[in-house]
Structure 1
């Protein structure tokens, strides 16, 4: 069976955000949750629980963002020490 990119959903202290997504994307997220739960709807994670780890994985995999973040962070360290 093919491995999904998202496998573990951890609980962390949440920060509440309100986000609007297209209906089609919502439907895809529902299907993703079902597939993640071995094709069973009962017990599948909610869309609200899927979105944070998906965004976290997306950011972690973005190499350009990582380079830019390191650049920004090193600039901030220089400003504090200078």
Structure 2
């Protein structure tokens, strides 16, 4: 099986956000949870817990966002 992009879920204090997902996205999320459980040997009881690490990984690998963030941080540093 191919290596998944996210690993074990961190234990972190959450901020509650409510979203609606298209049914197809939810089905894929449940399927991904199953694949992750098989790969790690750890059950994923709540597939919605995968959303945060997926978003984290997505933003960490988005070059445009990284470039924008560096520029924003750089301008904040110069201003203050």
Q: TM-score, normalised by structure 1?
A: 0.87
Higher relative contact order (CA 8 A, sep 6+): 2
- C-alpha separation in 2, matches of 1:7 and 1:45: 15
Aligned twin of 2:77 = 77
How many equivalent pairs are there? Answer: 78
- Contiguous gaps of at least 5 residues in structure 1: none
Give the direction of change, closer, same or farther, for the CA distance of 1:45–1:54 in structure 2 (3 Å limit).
farther
Q: Deviation of residue 48 (structure 1)?
A: 1.8
The answer to whether the Cα contact below 8 Å between 2:6 and 2:53 also exists between their aligned partners in 1 is yes
Pairs within 5 Å for 1:54-65: 54-65=54-65
Offset from partner CA, 1:5-38 (integer Å, 9 cap, x none) = 1122101110000011101100100000011111
**What SS does the aligned partner of 2:4 have?**
coil
Aligned twin of 2:33 = 33
Aligned twin of 2:17 = 17
- C-alpha separation in 2, matches of 1:75 and 1:6: 32
Aligned alpha-carbon RMSD (Å):
1.6
